[in-house]
Amino acid sequence: MSIQEIITNLRTGEKKYSFNVSKILNNDKIFVGLDLENRACIFVKSDDREIAPSIKTSKLQIEFNKEYKLFINEKDTQEGFFHSIRCLSNDSDDTRIFLTIIESIVTDPSIVLTTHSLTSIFYSLVSLFKTGTSPNITQERQGLWAELFFMKKNGGFNFWAKYWHSNPNIPFDFSHKEKRVEIKSTVRQERVHEFAHRQLFSLASEDICIISVMLREDDEGTNLRNLLDEANLALKSTPHFIKLELAMIRSGMANNDEAGPKYNEEEAEKKINWLKAEKVPRFESSEPEGVSATRYRSDLTNASKMTTEEITEWLGSFNEIVSSD
Q: What b/e sequence results for 283-296 when a residue is b if at least 16 CB atoms lie within 10 Å of its CB, and e otherwise?
A: eeeeeeeeeeeeee
Res 23 pLDDT > 90: no
Q: Which residue pairs from 286-294 have beta carbons closer than 8 angstroms and sit at least 24 positions apart in sequence?
A: 286/201, 287/197, 287/201, 293/196, 294/196, 294/197
Res 26 pLDDT > 90: no
Nearest to 33 by CA among 67, 65, 77: 77
Nearest to 184 by CA among 305, 86, 72, 69: 305
pLDDT for position 134: 93
Which of 100, 130, 160 corresponds to the end of one domain? 130
Render pLDDT for 218-259 as a digit per residue (tens, 0 to 9): 999 999 999 999 999 999 888 899 999 999 999 999 988 899
pLDDT for position 82: 94
Q: What is the mean pLDDT of the chain?
A: 92
Same-domain check for residues 186 and 290: yes
Domain that holds residue 281: 137-323
pLDDT for position 136: 95
Render pLDDT for 84-141 as a digit per residue (tens, 0 to 9): 999 999 998 899 999 999 888 887 777 788 898 899 999 999 999 999 999 999 999 9
Which of 98, 114, 130 corresponds to the end of one domain? 130
Same-domain check for residues 317 and 206: yes
Same-domain check for residues 118 and 143: no
**34 touches 20 (CB < 8 A):** yes
Cα 17 to Cα 52, 63, 70, 81, 99, distances in angstroms: 26, 19, 8, 17, 21
pLDDT for position 166: 85
What's the whole-number mean pLDDT along residues 137-163? Answer: 97
User: Which is more confident, 147 or 202?
Assistant: 147
The total of other beta-carbon atoms located within 10 Å of residue 55's CB is 15
User: Which is more confident, 80 or 202?
Assistant: 80
25: Cβ–Cβ under 8 A, 6 or more apart, which residues?
Answer: 106, 107
Specify the range with the lowest mean pLDDT, choosing from 10-19, 176-185, 193-202.
10-19
147: Cβ–Cβ under 8 A, 6 or more apart, which residues?
Answer: 164, 173, 183, 247
Res 152 pLDDT > 80: yes
Same-domain check for residues 269 and 315: yes
| % the chain with pLDDT above 90 | 70
Helix/strand number for the chain, H first, E second: 10, 14
Same-domain check for residues 254 and 287: yes
Which of 107, 130, 153 corresponds to the end of one domain? 130
Same-domain check for residues 177 and 109: no
Q: With H, G, I as helix, E, B as strand and everything else as coil, classify residue 185.
A: strand
pLDDT for position 189: 94
Render pLDDT for 184-205 as a digit per residue (tens, 0 to 9): 999 999 999 999 999 999 877 8
**107 touches 25 (CB < 8 A):** yes
Same-domain check for residues 125 and 141: no
Same-domain check for residues 87 and 196: no
Res 35 pLDDT > 90: yes
pLDDT for position 294: 93
Provide the residue count of the chain.
Answer: 325
Same-domain check for residues 55 and 176: no
Same-domain check for residues 124 and 192: no
Same-domain check for residues 144 and 293: yes
pLDDT range class, residue 17, cuts 50, 70, 90: confident
| % the chain with pLDDT above 70 | 99
Same-domain check for residues 159 and 33: no
pLDDT for position 6: 87
Domain count of the fold of the chain:
2
133: Cβ–Cβ under 8 A, 6 or more apart, which residues?
Answer: 140, 249, 250, 251, 252
**157 touches 151 (CB < 8 A):** yes
pLDDT for position 258: 93
